[in-house]
């Protein structure tokens, strides 16, 4: 068995620690009273979906986390070599995460995927960019260039900066923060010409985003301060590349 000692430790932690946290939740909806913050979530077991929508997400420093939905909840404990141990409360909707789905889960973007299932958690994106609050600045490339560097200022969590850029169909667009030229970490939200979220929002600050292939038309890019760190005030710089 991979990482036997750590697996035993994780199992003991699940039995000894997590039941205490679960007992404070309500049987009709495990999200009530659960610690953490709201995220978009997905739990699939053997191809069947048990969680989809809003979950409460509670994480540890080592990357382990818990997701609480209405009827089901799942625990993921990180192991060595990039693998994770996943268990859930099962079809019986038990009060403990007593059913092990495996120790073969590997991360794939915002998801962890194993032979028996899939667990995903995404940050919730604002429903619409706040373009009405501050007008968007159009990004234009110099003749022959495939990238441009743009800057702006932010002051606290309630502030934002909006850009817009026109791209062609089937291209690859990357928006990335240039850390050494920024006062703090930003989160990047991209909306496609149809008004749909365009970038994959995992639970990092997502200060780098790639969209491929692009649709033809204007993409909206919204930059806000990452709420996983303290608020800050100052200048940020990002690079936008389209190929």
How much is the pLDDT for 27?
54
Architecture of domain 137-242: Sandwich (2.60)
Q: What is the pLDDT of residues 99-112, one digit of tens each?
A: 999 999 999 888 99
Q: Are strands 160-167 and 137-138 parallel, antiparallel or unpaired?
A: parallel
How much is the pLDDT for 230?
78
Its pTM stands at 0.57
How much is the pLDDT for 94?
85
Give the CA dihedral 227, 229, 231, 234, nearest 10 degrees: -110
How much is the pLDDT for 125?
66
How much is the pLDDT for 55?
92
Q: What is the pLDDT of residues 188-233, one digit of tens each?
A: 999 999 988 887 766 667 788 999 999 999 999 999 988 777 788 9
Q: Where are the domains of the chain?
A: 4-122, 137-242
- What is the C-alpha to C-alpha distance for residues 71 and 174, in angstroms, rounded to an integer? 38
Instruction: For the chain, list residues with pLDDT below 50.
Output: 1, 4-26, 129-132
């Amino acid at each position: 068995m991979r990482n036997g000692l750590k697996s035993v430790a994780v199992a003991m932690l699940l039995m000894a620690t997590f039941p205490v946290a679960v007992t404070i939740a309500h049987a009709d909806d495990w999200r009530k009273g659960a610690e953490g913050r709201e995220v978009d979530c997905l739990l699939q077991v053997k191809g069947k979906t048990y969680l989809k929508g809003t979950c409460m997400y509670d994480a540890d420093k080592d990357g382990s986390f818990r997701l609480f939905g209405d009827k089901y909840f799942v625990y993921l404990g990180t192991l060595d070599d990039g693998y994770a141990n996943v268990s859930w409360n099962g079809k019986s909707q038990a009060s403990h995460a007593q059913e092990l789905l495996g120790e073969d889960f590997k991360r794939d973007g915002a998801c962890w995927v194993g032979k028996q299932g899939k667990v995903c958690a995404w940050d919730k994106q604002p429903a619409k960019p706040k373009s009405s609050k501050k007008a968007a600045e159009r990004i234009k490339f110099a003749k022959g260039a495939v990238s441009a560097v743009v800057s702006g200022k932010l002051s606290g969590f309630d502030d934002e900066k909006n850009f817009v850029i026109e791209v062609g169909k089937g291209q690859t667009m990357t928006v990335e923060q240039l850390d050494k030229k920024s006062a703090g970490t930003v989160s990047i939200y991209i909306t496609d010409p149809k008004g749909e979220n365009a970038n994959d929002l995992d639970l990092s600050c997502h200060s780098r985003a790639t969209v491929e292939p692009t649709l033809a038309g204007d993409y909206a890019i919204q930059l806000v301060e990452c709420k996983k760190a303290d608020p800050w005030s100052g200048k940020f710089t990002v690079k936008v590349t389209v190929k």
